[in-house]
Structure 1
Amino acid sequence: MPEISVDVHIGRSVTEVYDFLSDARNLELWFSGVDTVAESAEPAGPGVVHVYRFPGRHRDQLLQCVAYVPGEHLVFRGDRMWNPLGAQTPLYSFTLSPRRRGTLLRLTVQCRLAGALTLLAPVVAMAWRRDLPRDARRLGERLGAPHCHVIATPRRIRLPGPSFIPAADPAAAAPALTAPAPPRPQGRPEPRPQVRPEPHPEQHPEPRPASVPAAKERATRPAA
């Protein structure tokens, strides 16, 4: 989703700038994201829907006010627009803050892209980077501001990266490659100790010791 912002100082009060921005009919006078806005008797406020046309399209779309904080914040959201490559949903945000000699206004444009249009996100961002400073200067001219200048050129761009494609199954991801273990040195195998089987008592009977009296008798017999 490309997101572009630009800051501009307008030499008018916050009330004057906000009243002009909150009337959606004034968008076609200075904003390149709106071609025409139909007349509406509804007052400005949250939830108010206007009929407008996006530049380059011939069908009417709806433009709804989705955020409304008097003197501070204002957001308009357009309908989702379809084409053979996918869809896009524009979002226009205006944030105001008082300054000593006027108003600091931040213009922000977001485009939610779907389908193959996501591949054209850099082109969409480049177009808004070119148009937003022009729109800010045109707004100052419409308000008759004697001092209107762009403080910061488009300073924030968010584009979808490779991480916006969700993985089908994170557990099934390929494991990281590891270095193979070094081969063990091959040498002569060590001889196994030979264990002799113990003789079975029945096969090799131990000699029976002589009786104690017989041994005494042989010990006391005098020599010849």
Structure 2
Amino acid sequence: MPEISVDVHIGRSVTEVYDFLSDARNLELWFSGVDTVAESAEPAGPGVAHVYRFPGRHRDQLLQCVAYVPGEHLVFRGDRMWNLLGAQTPVYSFTLSPRRRGTLLRLTVQCRLAGGLTLLAPVVAMAWRRDLPRDVRRLGERLGAPHCHVIAAPRRVRLPGPAFTPAADPTAAPAALTQPGPQVRPEPRPQVPSGPHPEQHSEPRPASVPAAKERATRPAA
């Protein structure tokens, strides 16, 4: 399932960029992942579906808006498309954040592949890495942005990892050096009773162990 992302700075306000992107009919003007979009009277918003054609296909598909946060986030998901090798489902995500001289846009393309198409995932990822920089530059041209340049090269998107912990800090010492080892408790020393125990000499001592060798007598002072 290849996921490719690219960051671009566009010299227009967040409102202008978002309004242009949220209208699915504008996708065919700049985005290589959409060939045509049929006219629709429905306003932009979550759940709205548009009839479109994926490049290289002659059958109409539905492109649905599955996430819509005005001025921040926008996601379109296409229908699952089948062929002799398998199926693919395209997902296009736009994340915007304001900057002093415009808008920072992150465009992410995700292709969910099934069947034999999973073997072509590297080829699909390579095609998107080639096309996305051209797409975002065309977007800047359509918006008439005076400044539009790619900040980060297309790259694979990593899934969010576990929450940060001090042990995960790469500058921290290894866990084996920072964590204390197992505590070893010393064995208790046997206590010698001060006087004879009533049960200590209940049985007779063996004849082979004379009592005189157990405790040496001190010479008289």
TM-score normalized with structure 1 length: 0.71
Distance of aligned partners of 1:43 and 1:156 in 2 relative to their CA distance in 1, 3 Å threshold: same
* Structure 1 range deviating more: 202-211 or 126-135: 202-211
Contact 2:36/2:53 (<8 A) preserved: yes
Contact 1:122/1:159 (<8 A) preserved: no
TM-score normalized with structure 2 length: 0.72
Contact 2:167/2:175 (<8 A) preserved: no
Q: Secondary structure at the match of 1:216?
A: helix
Distance of aligned partners of 1:197 and 1:223 in 2 relative to their CA distance in 1, 3 Å threshold: closer
1:7-46 matches, cutoff 5 A:
7-46=7-46
Q: For residues 79-115 of structure 1, give each alpha carbon's deviation from its aligned partner in whole angstroms, at most 9, with x where no partner exists.
A: 0000000000000000000000000000000000000
Q: Across the two proteins, how many residue pairs are aligned to each other? A: 221
Contact 2:10/2:104 (<8 A) preserved: yes
Distance of aligned partners of 1:84 and 1:172 in 2 relative to their CA distance in 1, 3 Å threshold: farther
Q: For residues 137-190 of structure 1, give each alpha carbon's deviation from its aligned partner in whole angstroms, at most 9, with x where no partner exists.
A: 000000000000000111225699999999999999999999999xxx999999
Q: Secondary structure at the match of 1:123?
A: helix
Q: Percent identity?
A: 91
Distance of aligned partners of 1:84 and 1:159 in 2 relative to their CA distance in 1, 3 Å threshold: farther
1:162-173 matches, cutoff 5 A:
none
Q: List 4+ stretches of structure 1 deviating above 4 A.
A: 157-181, 185-224
Contact 1:137/1:148 (<8 A) preserved: yes
Distance of aligned partners of 1:101 and 1:192 in 2 relative to their CA distance in 1, 3 Å threshold: closer
Instruction: Quote how far apart the aligned CAs of 1:212 are.
Output: 35
Query: Partners of 1:50 and 1:78 in 2: how far apart?
Result: 9
Q: Secondary structure at the match of 1:57?
A: coil
User: What RMSD in Å do the two structures reach over aligned CA positions?
Assistant: 13.2
Query: Partners of 2:218 and 2:44 in 1: how far apart?
Result: 142
Distance of aligned partners of 1:12 and 1:197 in 2 relative to their CA distance in 1, 3 Å threshold: closer
Distance of aligned partners of 1:89 and 1:170 in 2 relative to their CA distance in 1, 3 Å threshold: farther
Query: Partners of 2:80 and 2:21 in 1: how far apart?
Result: 22
Query: Partners of 1:219 and 1:164 in 2: how far apart?
Result: 67
Aligned partner of 1:86 in structure 2 is: 86
Query: Partners of 1:45 and 1:222 in 2: how far apart?
Result: 106
Contact 2:167/2:174 (<8 A) preserved: no
Distance of aligned partners of 1:81 and 1:178 in 2 relative to their CA distance in 1, 3 Å threshold: farther
Q: For residues 31-80 of structure 1, give each alpha carbon's deviation from its aligned partner in whole angstroms, at most 9, with x where no partner exists.
A: 00000000000000000000000000000000000000000000000000
Contact 1:2/1:160 (<8 A) preserved: no
The structure with the larger Rg is 1
Query: Partners of 2:213 and 2:131 in 1: how far apart?
Result: 129
Q: Secondary structure at the match of 2:178?
A: coil
Q: Secondary structure at the match of 2:18?
A: helix
* Structure 1 range deviating more: 35-44 or 148-157: 148-157
